[in-house]
Amino acid sequence: MVSLTLQGITRKFGDVTAVDDVSLEITRGELFFLLGPSGCGKTTLLRLIAGFYAPDRGNILFDGQDVTRTPPHRRNTGMVFQNYALWPHMSVWENVAYGLGLRKVPSSEQKDRVSEALRMVRMDAYGERSPNQLSGGQQQRVALARALVIQPDVVLLDEPLSNLDARLRLEMRDEIRRIHDETGTTMIYVTHDQKEALSMADRMAVMDMGAVAQTGDPRSIYARPVSAFVADFIGETNFVAGRLTSAETPLSVETAVGVLHSTVEPAEGLSPGDEVVCSVRPEAIRVSEPDAAGGEEENVLDGVVRQTVYLGDHEQYSVRLDDGTLVKLVDHHPGRRRAGPGAPIRLKCDASQVVVLGKPG
Ligand code: ATP
């Protein structure tokens, strides 16, 4: 396993800047995600790491060694693709052994290593089968075994679960995490599925238009997004627009529906008078009980219930605030419906759950 350093990587295709000045540090043994919407450059970045493309600018280092000009077959990376890319005319065993043959590994060692790789992905009973006799999930396990058997320094996974149905995707998330933990190999995993990234990643880079918008572990990115793009892309959120009136913590934002306070340190430099948006997660908003003890109420939003959806373990509310802004919230203890469609409702949120962000351009 290796650490990876990307220094100012840029790659253009004609007029399109697919990867734009990306710098990242990925530590040894990390399960690191590149996450972002379609076209943000994550596959191009993975291919640059594999060596299939050369960057126009910047350097790629494996364990501090510059590999920017090293051809792919000298980088010792294992690839796993969305479409599995198994050889249809070879058995499962032969598919996994193929890379060892290329590397001239002696046949007795090949046998041990293929057995071990198939055991690792729980496919040891399927060595004689042909790939077209396997389910999609099984084929992806074989593709993983084929990547692991060469004992790569880093495994690169490009949307590996996209072709699987929802249930198998969930199962394979746990499997890949387990295999990662068992092997300790550095893995870089590309996906546009934020739930995959949140549930599996040690750390992730959220990408937008070729650039890294934010790097961090799942919890910090969810709780402290640095931009409206990240807040919106990772999980669900509500945006309430306003103008910053105090940039000292607690921050104050004047909105069309009242003043919102935030005790979250802003990521970027904001000044009083700036147009901003307040990001508040649905689970951070609660219904204010009308008979709650008096006193000055902070961070209150008044509106009218538009819709409620009861889902057993929780209930979703959609509320139209007095200025027309739609807000979603989640009640995790839906013993009773707090208000039905058309009813006025008062919402509250804690200042520690309000993240003030620069208004997107
Ligand atoms: P997806 O999730 O849809 O695969 P992505 O985030 O992986 O998207 P890339 O495939 O890296 O994005 O593409 C980034 C940008 O570069 C896109 O605008 C794409 O059209 C362009 N691009 C990628 N590969 C090439 C190529 N070989 N030739 C020309 N343009 C390309």
pLDDT exceeds cutoff 70 at 313? yes
pLDDT exceeds cutoff 70 at 229? yes
pLDDT exceeds cutoff 80 at 291? no
Same domain, residue pair 211 and 116: yes
Same domain, residue pair 14 and 150: yes
Task: Give the mutation target among 11, 43, 156, 158 for probing the ligand 1 site: most ligand atoms within 8 A of CB.
Answer: 43
Query: 19 alpha carbon to ligand 1 midpoint, in Å?
Result: 9
Residue 335: what pLDDT?
82
Task: Among 79-83, 247-251, 328-332, 353-357, name the most confident range.
Answer: 353-357
The fraction of the chain above a pLDDT of 90, given in percent, is: 83
Residues with CB under 6 A from ligand 1: 13, 16, 18, 36, 38-44, 192
Same domain, residue pair 145 and 49: yes
pLDDT exceeds cutoff 70 at 295? no
pLDDT, mean of residues 124-134: 94
Same domain, residue pair 100 and 193: yes
Same domain, residue pair 11 and 115: yes
Is residue 229 domain-resident?
no
Same domain, residue pair 178 and 81: yes
Same domain, residue pair 240 and 139: no
Supply the Cα-derived Rg of the chain in whole angstroms: 25
pLDDT, mean of residues 57-65: 97
Same domain, residue pair 255 and 218: no
Domain boundary among 173, 189, 223: 223
Residue 334: what pLDDT?
81
Same domain, residue pair 345 and 259: yes
**Ligand 1: residue whose CA is nearest its atom 9:** 41
Asked if the peptide bond before residue 250 counts as cis, ω within 30 degrees of 0, the response is: yes
pLDDT exceeds cutoff 70 at 290? no
Residue 294: what pLDDT?
56
Confidence at 168, pLDDT banded by 50, 70, 90: confident
Same domain, residue pair 214 and 242: no
Residue 5: what pLDDT?
98
Is residue 195 domain-resident?
yes
Domain boundary among 192, 223, 254: 223
Confidence at 216, pLDDT banded by 50, 70, 90: very high
Residue 267: what pLDDT?
81
Domain count, the chain: 2
Residues 43 and 295: their CA atoms lie apart, in Å, by 54
pLDDT, mean of residues 139-150: 93
Domain boundary among 168, 195, 223: 223
Residue 45: what pLDDT?
97
pLDDT exceeds cutoff 90 at 1? no
pLDDT exceeds cutoff 80 at 361? no
pLDDT exceeds cutoff 60 at 218? yes
Q: What CATH number has the domain bearing residue 34?
A: 3.40.50.300
Is residue 231 domain-resident?
no
For the chain, give the mean pLDDT. 93
**Ligand 1: residue whose CA is nearest its atom 26:** 13
pLDDT exceeds cutoff 70 at 296? no
Task: Give the mutation target among 10, 11, 40 for probing the ligand 1 site: most ligand atoms within 8 A of CB.
Answer: 40
Instruction: Note down the domain range covering 335.
Output: 236-358
Ligand 1 closest atom vs CA 40: 6
User: Residues 3-43: pLDDT tens digits?
Assistant: 999 999 999 999 999 999 999 999 999 999 999 999 999 99
The H or E element that residue 194 is part of is: helix 194-200
DSSP 289: P
Ligand 1 closest atom vs CA 192: 2
Task: Give the mutation target among 15, 17, 34, 44 for probing the ligand 1 site: most ligand atoms within 8 A of CB.
Answer: 44
Same domain, residue pair 130 and 156: yes
Query: 48 alpha carbon to ligand 1 midpoint, in Å?
Result: 12
Closest Cα partner for 355 from 245, 269, 281?
281
Does residue 191 contact residue 46 with C-beta atoms inside 8 Å?
A: no
Confidence at 259, pLDDT banded by 50, 70, 90: very high
Residue 149: what pLDDT?
94
Residue 173: what pLDDT?
93
pLDDT, mean of residues 349-354: 95
Is residue 230 domain-resident?
no
Residue 87: what pLDDT?
93
Same domain, residue pair 254 and 123: no
Q: What CATH number has the domain bearing residue 255?
A: 2.40.50.100
